[in-house]
């Protein structure tokens, strides 16, 4: 029998160390919110492939759609022979755009590609070059999106110099002592000191920072950015790669804010486990690049488009937006009980919309000093208890919960019980 230890040794010899893996567990099979490793051990999945599996592992409707498409054709390249699933998926997303007026959508393969192309489209539309993002943001690993990412370790170390014309603002976060006013003052300072607003193509914001720690962008900031973008002809881009497709209790997290972006980037759970990403935007902006300026060999794969159409059906038919809110309420209630206990590592700042839930591991009750080491112990103890859990945050002390929205109540409870065990064990 193949073992995790044997695969770990083979990996060390064959795969560069630059790609890290959160756990030493090697997957053999998975269903919904459960994974079995190559040694036959079962785990509850609170990671969801990093927010890819809102509809769970191998949802039957998604698998059936993929199998049907595979019997017809697997690839032509949309730029050579186009196909209906791509067009139908664009039509359905355009109809759900979180902004008014005509919309268009183009598809790619990864979230980083979506962000990179959103910038290309914004530059083509505005004739400008500047891009503004926020500290703590994660936008991708390509050279441009790495520059846009507001976190040095581990994403930028040894990879410089970064592409020019990218600036960062402090992300407003009450736990880190940054207010919306301070963020806007920093933007005003940037406009005075480094780049005039008439040279900025796009401001890119995550409605909820993912890698940055599951901190929600204040609606007050979005309202202010919308006005600034309108006043200066800047494109407002919402990076919904991690927040999209039901995770926050809305199809798009921007729907919570009442603020309309000009473009939305998406990926992850759109494909239900199959690689696809996209940019959804106002039609006049999306049409700015010349024919041939956008695309990609595998962009909008027919198999992934078929999967994504099934994902949209599942979200509607199984009422996953409502399910996300119910899951989030149950998870928060359990975490709030944990926060009052003294036999666990201290936790604080329980937060999140829908089922996009995060909390911080801190050094003492009633304070907010981050404890990254204890956070790592929690993740390790969770794995030992049969739970796959992810950490995040600019100080490495946040734990994020991304359980599939299709999880059963019984498996959710099992996972929360394993989390409880881990929080107790990590106290030492």
Question: How far apart are alpha carbons 165 and 92 in whole angstroms?
Answer: 34
138 and 201 together in one domain: yes
Question: How far apart are alpha carbons 24 and 7 in whole angstroms?
Answer: 9
214 and 131 together in one domain: yes
Question: How far apart are alpha carbons 113 and 299 in whole angstroms?
Answer: 9
CATH of the domain at 399: 3.90.1150.10
Q: By the 8 A CB rule, do 367 and 397 touch?
A: no
281 and 204 together in one domain: yes
pLDDT tens sequence for the chain (428 residues): 799 999 999 999 999 999 999 999 999 999 999 999 999 999 999 999 999 999 999 999 999 999 999 999 999 999 999 999 999 999 999 999 999 999 999 999 999 999 999 999 999 999 999 999 999 999 999 999 999 999 998 999 999 899 999 999 999 998 889 999 999 999 999 999 999 999 999 999 999 999 999 999 999 999 999 999 999 999 999 999 999 999 999 999 999 999 999 999 999 999 999 999 999 999 999 999 999 999 999 999 999 999 999 999 999 999 999 999 999 999 999 999 999 999 999 999 999 999 999 999 999 998 889 999 999 999 999 999 999 999 999 999 999 999 999 999 999 999 999 999 999 999 97
Q: Which of 59, 31, 20, 5 is nearest to 307 (CA)?
A: 59
324 and 310 together in one domain: no
Q: Which of 245, 424, 250 is nearest to 341 (CA)?
A: 424
Question: How far apart are alpha carbons 52 and 75 in whole angstroms?
Answer: 22
272 and 130 together in one domain: yes
CA distances from 123 to 178, 238, 262 (A): 30, 16, 13
* Sheet of 200-205, strands arranged across: 103-108, 277-282, 263-266, 235-239, 200-205, 130-134, 166-169
CATH of the domain at 182: 3.40.640.10
Q: What is the pLDDT of residue 156?
A: 92
Task: Judge whether 381 lies within some domain.
Answer: yes
> In 3-state terms, what secondary structure has residue 426?
coil
Q: Domain of 16?
A: 4-58+319-425
398 and 286 together in one domain: no
Task: Judge whether 151 lies within some domain.
Answer: yes
Q: Which of 94, 101, 95, 98 is nearest to 259 (CA)?
A: 98
The two beta strands, 387-388 and 42-45, are: parallel
Q: By the 8 A CB rule, do 212 and 151 touch?
A: yes
220 and 153 together in one domain: yes
Domain final residue, candidates 275, 290, 317: 317
> In 3-state terms, what secondary structure has residue 216?
strand
Dihedral sign for Cα 120, 124, 128, 133, please. negative
Task: Judge whether 267 lies within some domain.
Answer: yes
The two beta strands, 277-282 and 398-401, are: unpaired
Query: How many structural domains does the chain have?
Result: 2
The two beta strands, 277-282 and 263-266, are: antiparallel
> In 3-state terms, what secondary structure has residue 280?
strand
378 and 419 together in one domain: yes
166 and 50 together in one domain: no
State the residue for tokens 């592992």.
Answer: 57
Question: How far apart are alpha carbons 276 and 9 in whole angstroms?
Answer: 31
328 and 312 together in one domain: no
Q: Which residues of 42-54 are buried (b: 16+ CB within 10 A; e: fewer)?
A: ebbbbbbbbbbbb
Domain final residue, candidates 317, 352, 379: 317
């Amino acid at each position: 029998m193949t073992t995790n230890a044997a695969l770990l040794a083979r990996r060390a010899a064959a795969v560069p160390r630059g790609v890290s893996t959160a756990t030493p567990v090697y997957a053999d099979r998975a269903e919904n919110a459960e994974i079995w490793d190559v040694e036959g051990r079962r785990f509850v999945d609170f990671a969801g492939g990093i927010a890819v599996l809102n509809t769970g592992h191998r949802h039957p409707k998604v698998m059936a759609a993929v199998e049907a498409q595979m019997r017809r054709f697997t690839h032509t390249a949309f730029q050579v022979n186009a196909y209906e699933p791509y067009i139908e998926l664009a039509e359905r997303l355009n109809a759900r755009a979180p902004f008014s007026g005509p919309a268009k959508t183009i598809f790619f393969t990864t979230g980083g590609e979506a962000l990179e192309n959103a910038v290309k489209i914004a530059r083509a539309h505005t004739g400008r070059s500047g891009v503004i993002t926020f500290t703590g943001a994660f936008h991708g690993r390509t050279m441009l999106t790495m520059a846009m990412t507001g976190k040095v370790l581990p994403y930028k170390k040894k990879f410089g110099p970064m592409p020019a014309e990218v600036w960062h603002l402090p992300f407003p976060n009450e736990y880190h002592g940054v207010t919306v006013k301070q963020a806007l003052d920093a933007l005003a300072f940037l406009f005075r000191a480094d780049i005039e607003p008439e040279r900025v193509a796009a401001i890119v914001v995550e409605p909820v920072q993912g890698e940055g720690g599951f901190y929600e962008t204040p609606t007050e900031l979005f309202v202010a950015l919308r006005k600034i973008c309108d006043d200066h002809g800047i494109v407002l881009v919402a990076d919904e790669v991690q927040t999209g497709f039901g995770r926050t209790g809305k199809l798009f997290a921007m729907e919570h804010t009442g603020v309309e972006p000009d473009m939305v980037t998406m990926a992850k759970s759109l494909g239900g486990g199959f690689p696809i990403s996209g940019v959804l935007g106002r039609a006049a902006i999306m049409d700015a690049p010349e024919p041939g300026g956008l695309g990609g060999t595998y962009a909008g794969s027919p198999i992934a488009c078929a999967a994504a159409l099934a994902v949209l059906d599942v979200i509607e038919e199984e009422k996953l937006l409502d399910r996300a809110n119910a899951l989030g309420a149950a998870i928060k209630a359990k975490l709030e009980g944990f926060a009052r206990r003294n036999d666990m590592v201290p936790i604080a700042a329980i937060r999140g919309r829908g089922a996009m839930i995060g909390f911080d591991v801190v050094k003492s009750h009633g304070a907010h000093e981050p404890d990254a080491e204890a956070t790592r112990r929690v993740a390790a103890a969770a794995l030992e208890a049969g739970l796959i859990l992810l950490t995040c945050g600019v100080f490495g002390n946040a734990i994020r919960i991304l359980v599939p929205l299709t999880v059963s109540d019984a498996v959710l409870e099992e996972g929360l019980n394993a989390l409880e065990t881990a929080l107790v064990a990590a106290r030492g």
